[in-house]
Amino acid sequence: MPVEEFVAGWVSGALGLVLGHPFDTVKLLGFFKGMSFPIASIALVNSVLFGVYSNSLLALTATSHQERWAQPPSYTHVFIAGCTGGFLQAYFLAPFDLIKVRLQNQTEPRAQLGGPPPRYRGPMHCAASIFQKEGPRGLFQGAWALTLRDTPTMGIYFVTYEVLCRQCTPEGQNPSSATVLVAGGFAGITSWVAATPLDVIKSRMQMDGLKRRAYQGVLDCMVSSVRQEGLGVFFRGITINSARAFPVNAVTFLSYEYLLRWWG
Ligand SMILES: CN(C)C(=N)NCCC[C@H](N)C(=O)O
């Protein structure tokens, strides 16, 4: 199994994250400002995504990454490989994403004199206290909603990228850097627009039971969210998700493609 794609996915995930970090810190209330935890986690998750995607395409089409612009795979194969990557990466992402969402939603003032200490003091403390209270399964709260969010949307992500690259590139040639940047950016936006409804539900499932009612499951969470807040609830955060998605995914794809070309 070729491993270059895993390594390129790792490096490109870390580079994309550096660009996306200002958007993430805007959403966070000061508890999640450091870079080391997000870099380590997103790089690992991106490595699984790109590595599994590329190796699934290899299994489906018997073409390696180097041969793929000359012998392009069908969009159905690209979609299946993207969904496979999205499905597997969701299990790596689940604990990290849970910690991120728990910290994002922690609204207690940071260090008020005489006030109660915050529930979680940082990512490691958050992981340890979930583990202590709920065991290893607690770290996977909301993982099912995350899998439902990421499996089809990662298929959409890679298909959008392929369609745009092929539209803008003469047949059989490698896409230019500008094409890779634009196609990667739009792949990020399209996938995030499609993912936002389940992203909202996923975050609610991850916070469930901490402050408010316990949902029976993903469907129950969807139904009661729509009943209480209307259909608009599914579009919460769509603007910031899209604004972040363009630069992050433009750089992710550019660095991924260049690293693989450089390694031959
Ligand atoms: C949930 N969806 C749609 C995605 N994760 N889409 C692919 C983009 C992945 C990239 N690391 C990012 O954070 O934008």
pTM of the model: 0.91
CA of 196 to the centre of ligand 1 (A): 11
Report how far ligand 1's centroid is from the alpha carbon of 11 (Å).
15
- What is the secondary structure of 19-62 as a DSSP string? HHHHHHHHHS-SSS--SHHHHHHHHHHHHHHHHHHHHHHHHHH-
From 192, 193, 254, 256, give the residue whose CB has the most ligand 1 atoms within 8 Å, as the site to mutate: 192
pLDDT in the model for residue 34: 62
* Residue-by-residue pLDDT tens, the chain, 264 positions: 778 889 999 999 988 887 777 776 665 544 445 667 777 888 999 999 999 999 999 999 998 888 888 899 999 999 999 999 999 999 999 999 999 889 888 765 555 556 677 788 888 999 999 999 989 999 999 999 999 999 999 999 999 999 999 999 998 889 999 999 999 999 999 999 999 999 999 999 999 877 666 899 999 999 999 999 999 999 999 999 999 999 999 999 999 999 998 887
What's residue 28's pLDDT?
57
Structure tokens belonging to residue 94: 């689940």
The reply to whether ligand 1 has any atom less than 6 angstroms from the CB of 157 is yes
Domains in the chain, start-ordered, CATH in brackets? Answer: 1-104+119-263 (1.50.40.10)
Q: What is the ipTM of this complex?
A: 0.93
Does the Cβ of 24 fall within 6 Å of ligand 1? no
Tell me, using a 6 A CB cutoff, whether residue 48 lines ligand 1. Answer: no
| Closest to 145 (Cα-Cα) out of 76, 109, 181, 195 | 195
pLDDT value of position 108: 58
pLDDT of residue 32: 46
Instruction: State the distance from the centre of ligand 1 to the C-alpha of 188, rounded, in angstroms.
Output: 6
**For ligand 1, atom 8, which residue shows the shortest CA distance?**
188
pLDDT of 31: 41
Tokens coding 67: 């041969």
The amino acid occupying position 21 is H
- In the prediction, which pLDDT does 171 show? 87
115 CA → ligand 1 middle, Å = 37
- Return the ligand 1 atom nearest residue 199 CA: 1
